[in-house]
């Protein structure tokens, strides 16, 4: 079995350096060395996880995370023909509706979480900020099996509870994993309102969801 | 409650019982987190011991020794009374004059400020002449220094509230360069508006200006504010200018925008204070946000560690922000008095702040 330690490190380092040209160069180098598309994606994903950690520690910032995500997207475009030819699958893990609840315009944490979920292979429907309650319900009806709600104010965190009630009323609660997060939200509050997943950070949320 | 347990709080205000060992472990962990994030010294053994004593005090409220009190300043103006509980207020309607005099004569405020209900620079522009009139009227009654207060709140310059593209939307489409460009343009507009609003209100008799939650919309918001303060300082050399921040770390929404040759994203209080001073501030308002999922002991130790590093290097007085969700105080609409007094005492005695 070929040892790709060097190439994996290059993929990882390129993602952490978050520059699109560097990421595509690392992908091309890995292909030349004989790595398969899925091996390359795994290498990039490890780097992306570290990007999330560095963001949460204040060492990287939002444009850097999104630049890394753009590099990941570019890498997928390069690898897509090989994936199709080899029959390897890049099927999305699940569809996720994400949004900051209505009345709340705090966007950043939710956007980071959306980006990290996308990089982890989820099909993310990011509805933005100030998202009406009914929009979450509609997206679940359309097939989303994960529903992520962010609230950054004590006055809007109650909307998370309202949406869970609406999911119950619509007979959809058992069909969807409800994730909640945001500065005033805690595990205790998530338990109280009947959410399935509480994320203290974007990387924690992704780690929990990947394990489901 | 067992003999070795103490009433304390979680970061969301929930009352919990913890043993002294648990509180000590949280103090050490909170301080270590600040030291790691900020690249600063953790609290030493003496500070940890003093903090443990404050948190574990059996009395409901605590305080500093007579003679060791520090100035008490207020932000958000009259809104702490007139705002509802979603605005950190009490829902008690009153005029701005009455609120100012109440703070001066009943609540022990050493400074106070006039504020517009939107409490942001941009919405004040069209009503500045009315704000000037009110400033003049209240200055005729009040004795303590009376400022004008507002948040730079650069988010109001982005779509859908303002003329510039919203970086959050642009970055979602991977238009990163465009997002940075729009942030830079918004920062320039903010600096212009700060100069306009603040010089007008200064002409009407304001003793100075309080910029509250600087950097709330990220690093460009902080740069716009610093540039605005620089303009204001030139226009009004004797104005008293307080620059209060939005958090312990400046969010990198732009990521590389600079003030005075320094990238602002990711700066911590001990670095922020130097830029505020350079811009022309008289007082720096250090802010450390509270984590709802951690205990008050963890949050307070973390906050004290950041602020102590700030007061150690600041060339201007540091007035730490103490209130809902900042300075170790739980994020709860009515800040619990046991937490408020413990956190304030720790900031004065351990972090050595000049004011609260």
Q: What is the pLDDT along chain B (356 residues), one digit of tens a residue?
A: 788 899 999 999 999 999 999 999 999 999 999 999 999 999 999 999 999 999 999 999 999 999 999 999 998 888 888 887 666 778 888 999 999 999 999 999 999 999 999 999 999 999 999 999 999 999 999 999 999 999 999 999 999 899 999 998 898 888 999 999 999 999 999 999 999 999 999 999 999 999 999 999 999 999 999 999 999 999 999 999 999 999 999 999 999 999 999 999 999 999 999 999 999 999 999 999 999 999 999 999 999 999 999 999 999 999 999 999 999 999 988 889 999 999 999 999 999 999 99
pLDDT recorded at residue B148: 97
**Which of these, B137, B151, B106, B139, lies nearest to B207 by C-alpha position?**
B139
Q: Is A61 on the interface with B (CB under 8 A)?
A: yes
CB B247 within 8 A of CB B289: yes
- Residue bearing tokens 């505020």: B276
Q: Do B155 and A105 touch (CB under 8 A)?
A: yes
pLDDT recorded at residue B329: 98
The residue in chain A having the minimum alpha-carbon distance to the alpha carbon of residue B333 is: A154
pLDDT recorded at residue A111: 85
CB B63 within 8 A of CB B341: yes
Q: Do A57 and B37 touch (CB under 8 A)?
A: yes
Q: Round to whole Å and give the CA distance between B34 and B52.
A: 17
Contacts of B12 in chain A (CB under 8 A): 184, 186, 188-189
Q: Which of B85, B255, B267 is the best mutation test for A, with the most CBs of A within 10 A?
A: B255
Q: Calculate the alpha carbon distances from B261 to B121, B234, B256, B257, B278 in Å.
A: 26, 20, 11, 9, 12
Q: Calculate the alpha carbon distances from A165 to A139, A185, A209, B19 in Å.
A: 16, 17, 22, 38
Q: Do A183 and B331 touch (CB under 8 A)?
A: yes
**Which of these, B15, B13, B6, lies nearest to B292 by C-alpha position?**
B13
Q: Which of B11, B12, B13 is the best mutation test for A, with the most CBs of A within 10 A?
A: B12
pTM beyond cutoff 0.90:
yes
Q: Is A62 on the interface with B (CB under 8 A)?
A: yes
ipTM over 0.90: no
Count, residues in chain B: 356
pLDDT, tens only, B43-52: 999 999 999 9
pLDDT recorded at residue A16: 96
From the CA of A5, how many Å to the nearest CA of chain B?
A: 30
CB A68 within 8 A of CB A23: yes
- Residue bearing tokens 């091309």: A28
Q: Do A111 and B168 touch (CB under 8 A)?
A: yes
Q: Is A25 on the interface with B (CB under 8 A)?
A: no
The residue in chain A having the minimum alpha-carbon distance to the alpha carbon of residue B249 is: A58
- Residue bearing tokens 């040759």: B261
Tell me the three state secondary structure of residue B92. coil
CB B157 within 8 A of CB B216: no
Contacts of B254 in chain A (CB under 8 A): 61, 63
What is the CB neighbour count within 10 angstroms for residue B106?
Answer: 8
Contacts of B14 in chain A (CB under 8 A): 188
- What average pLDDT is seen over chain B? 95
Q: What is the DSSP letter of B72?
A: -
Contacts of A112 in chain B (CB under 8 A): none
Give the DSSP per-residue string, B22-55. HHHHHHHHHHHHHHHHHT-PPP-HHHHHHHHHHH
Peptide linkage before B160 cis (omega within 30 of 0): yes
Tokens of A12: 């990882």
pLDDT, tens only, B8-42: 999 999 999 999 999 999 999 999 999 999 999 99
Q: Is A155 on the interface with B (CB under 8 A)?
A: yes
Q: Is B135 on the interface with A (CB under 8 A)?
A: no
Q: Do A183 and B292 touch (CB under 8 A)?
A: yes
Contacts of B218 in chain A (CB under 8 A): 62
In whole angstroms, how large is the CA radius of gyration of chain A?
Answer: 18
The residue in chain B having the minimum alpha-carbon distance to the alpha carbon of residue A74 is: B174
Which ranges of chain A have pLDDT less than 50?
none
Give the DSSP per-residue string, B245-314. ESSSS---SSSS-EETTEE-TT--HHHHHHHHHHHT-SEEE---BPPTTSBHHHHHHHHHHHHHHHHHH-
Domain ranges across chain B = 5-349
Count, residues in chain A: 212
Q: Which of A186, A188, A191 is the best mutation test for B, with the most CBs of B within 10 A?
A: A186
The residue in chain A having the minimum alpha-carbon distance to the alpha carbon of residue B267 is: A58
Size of interface A-B (CB pairs under 8 A): 79
From the CA of B96, how many Å to the nearest CA of chain A?
A: 25
pLDDT, tens only, B210-251: 999 999 999 999 999 999 999 999 999 999 999 999 999 999
Q: Do A183 and B332 touch (CB under 8 A)?
A: no
Contacts of A114 in chain B (CB under 8 A): 172
From the CA of B294, how many Å to the nearest CA of chain A?
A: 9
CATH no. of B5-349: 3.20.20
């Amino acid at each position: 079995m070929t040892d790709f330690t060097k190439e994996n490190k290059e993929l990882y380092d390129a993602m952490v350096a978050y520059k699109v040209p560097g990421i595509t160069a690392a992908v091309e180098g890995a292909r030349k060395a004989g790595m398969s598309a899925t091996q390359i994606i795994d290498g990039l994903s490890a780097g992306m996880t570290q990007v999330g950690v560095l963001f949460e520690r204040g060492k990287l910032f939002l444009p850097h995370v999104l630049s890394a995500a753009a590099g990941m997207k570019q890498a997928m475009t390069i690898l897509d023909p090989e994936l199709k030819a080899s029959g390897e699958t890049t099927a999305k893990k699940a569809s996720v509706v994400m949004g900051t609840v209505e009345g709340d315009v705090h966007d950043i944490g939710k956007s980071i979480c959306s980006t990290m979920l996308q990089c982890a292979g989820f099909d993310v429907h990011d509805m933005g900020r100030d998202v009406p309650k009914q929009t979450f319900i509609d997206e679940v009806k359309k097939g989303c099996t994960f529903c992520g709600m962010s609230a950054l104010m004590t006055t809007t965190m109650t909307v998370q509870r309202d949406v869970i009630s609406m999911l119950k009323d619509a007979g959809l609660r058992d069909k969807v994993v409800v994730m909640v997060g945001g500065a005033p939200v805690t595990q205790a509050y998530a338990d109280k309102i009947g959410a399935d997943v509480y994320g203290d950070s974007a990387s924690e949320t992704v780690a929990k969801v990947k394990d489901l | 409650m067992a003999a070795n347990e103490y009433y304390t709080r979680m970061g969301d205000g929930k009352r919990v019982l913890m043993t002294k060992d648990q509180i000590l472990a949280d103090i050490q962990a909170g301080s270590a987190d600040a030291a790691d994030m900020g690249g600063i010294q953790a609290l030493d053994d003496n500070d940890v011991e003093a903090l443990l004593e404050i948190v574990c005090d059996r009395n409901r409220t605590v305080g500093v020794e007579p003679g060791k009190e520090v100035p008490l300043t207020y932000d958000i103006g009259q809104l702490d009374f007139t705002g509802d509980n979603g605005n950190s207020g009490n829902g008690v309607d009153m005029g701005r004059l009455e609120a100012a005099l109440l703070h001066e004569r009943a609540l022990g405020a050493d400074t106070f400020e006039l504020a517009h209900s939107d409490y942001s620079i941009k919405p004040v522009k069209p009503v500045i002449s009315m704000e000037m009139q009110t400033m003049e009227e209240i200055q005729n009654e009040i004795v303590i220094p009376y400022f004008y207060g507002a948040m730079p709140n650069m988010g109001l310059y982005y779509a859908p509230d303002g003329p510039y593209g919203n970086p959050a939307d642009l970055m979602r489409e991977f238009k990163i360069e465009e997002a940075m460009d729009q942030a830079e343009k918004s920062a320039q507009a903010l600096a212009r508006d700060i100069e306009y609003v603040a010089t007008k209100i200064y002409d009407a008799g304001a003793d100075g200006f309080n910029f509250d939650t600087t950097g709330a919309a990220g690093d460009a918001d902080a740069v716009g504010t610093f540039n605005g303060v620089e303009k204001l300082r030139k226009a009004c050399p004797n104005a008293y200018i307080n620059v209060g921040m939005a958090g312990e770390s400046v969010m990198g929404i732009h990521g590389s925008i600079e003030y005075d040759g320094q990238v602002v994203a990711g700066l911590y209080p001990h670095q922020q204070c130097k830029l505020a001073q350079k811009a022309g501030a008289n007082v720096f308002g250090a802010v450390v946000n509270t984590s709802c999922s951690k205990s008050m002991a963890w949050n307070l130790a973390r906050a004290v560690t950041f602020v102590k590093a700030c007061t150690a290097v600041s060339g201007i007085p540091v007035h730490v922000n103490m209130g809902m969700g900042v300075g170790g105080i739980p994020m709860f609409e009515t800040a619990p008095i046991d937490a408020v007094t413990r956190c304030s005492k720790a900031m004065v005695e351990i972090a050595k702040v000049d004011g609260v």
